[in-house]
Amino acid sequence: TSSQLLAGKKVIITAGPTREHIDPVRYMSNHSSGKMGYAIAEAALKLGAEVCLVSGPVNLNAPTQASLHKVNTAEEMLSAVMAEVQDCDIFIGCAAVADYKPTQAVDHKIKKSNIELTLTFVRNPDILASVAALPKPPFTVGFAAETQNVAQYAKDKLARKKLDLIAANDVSRSDIGFNSDENALTLYWADGEQPLAKANKQQIALQLLEAVAQRFNQKHS
């Protein structure tokens, strides 16, 4: 039955934002609340999966049956994912990982002065691309948070990062995406697409996982 679509599968989900340290009291981050990723974790458990939730700092309670890894930075998130990915069947990257971190995290509080302050940044590792590039990658699902050319950028990410499926999220809308209780996605895979109409994140999560399970079974049949 569809109630146990993911029985026996290990699913890793990243959720929430990352925080990149500027100095001991400051960080750079984004508006991700973790709601979408946590909803996917809940839904995967309902579908019978073993769930590993790798979460940035959020104000949500993780489902008690999930194994929870709390992290702050993108580097920590990458380490936690790599430690768990060996026997993983499905990886879903829902976290809003900071693409950049400050070139150096200063070990004392930066004092203000009257001159302009310039910070420089270096690229963070791409967790999703690292997972997809493993010799034996799990079924790899990414999100694409875009404010323009949503479909095109999402399809580019699907191909460039060698993903099995991508969920395009139009984050220019304030009624869906970051921090809201509802979302709407368009799923793309190599030879198909499926829109998921606006609904609460619990419903979106379930529909996403149903599509993922179907593609996963197709790939392994």
Residues at the site binding ligand PMT, with contacts judged by CB under 6 A: 14, 32-37, 74, 93-97, 99, 124, 126-128, 142-145, 157, 169, 171, 177-179
Residue 105 CB, shortest distance to ligand PMT, in Å, is 17
**Is residue 37 annotated as involved in ligand binding?**
no
Helical H runs in the chain? 35-46, 74-84, 127-132, 150-160, 201-219
Residue 98 CB, shortest distance to ligand PMT, in Å, is 7
Whole-number Å distance between alpha carbons of 95 and 37? 7
By beta-carbon proximity to ligand PMT, the closer residue of 48 and 210 is 210
**Partners of 165 in the beta sheet?**
141
Whole-number Å distance between alpha carbons of 196 and 184? 6
**Is residue 219 annotated as involved in ligand binding?**
no
| DSSP string computed for 72-118 | -SHHHHHHHHHHHGGG-SEEEE-SB--SEEESS--SSPPPP-SSPP-
Residue 216 in tokens: 């996963």
Measured in whole angstroms, the distance separating CA 156 from the mean position of its chain's CA atoms is: 17
Is residue 149 part of the annotated active site? The answer reads: no
By beta-carbon proximity to ligand PMT, the closer residue of 48 and 180 is 180
Residue 77 CB, shortest distance to ligand PMT, in Å, is 8
**Is residue 99 annotated as involved in ligand binding?**
yes
**Is residue 8 annotated as involved in ligand binding?**
no
- DSSP 3-state assignment of 17? strand
By beta-carbon proximity to ligand PMT, the closer residue of 62 and 95 is 95
Strands (E), 147-189: 165-170, 182-189
The one catalytic residue in 30, 61, 179, 217 is 30
Whole-number Å distance between alpha carbons of 196 and 207? 7
By beta-carbon proximity to ligand PMT, the closer residue of 4 and 147 is 147
**Is residue 195 annotated as involved in ligand binding?**
no
Residue 104 CB, shortest distance to ligand PMT, in Å, is 19
Q: Which residue ranges make up the annotated binding site for CTP?
A: 93-95, 99, 109, 125-128, 143, 157, 161
Catalytic residues: 30
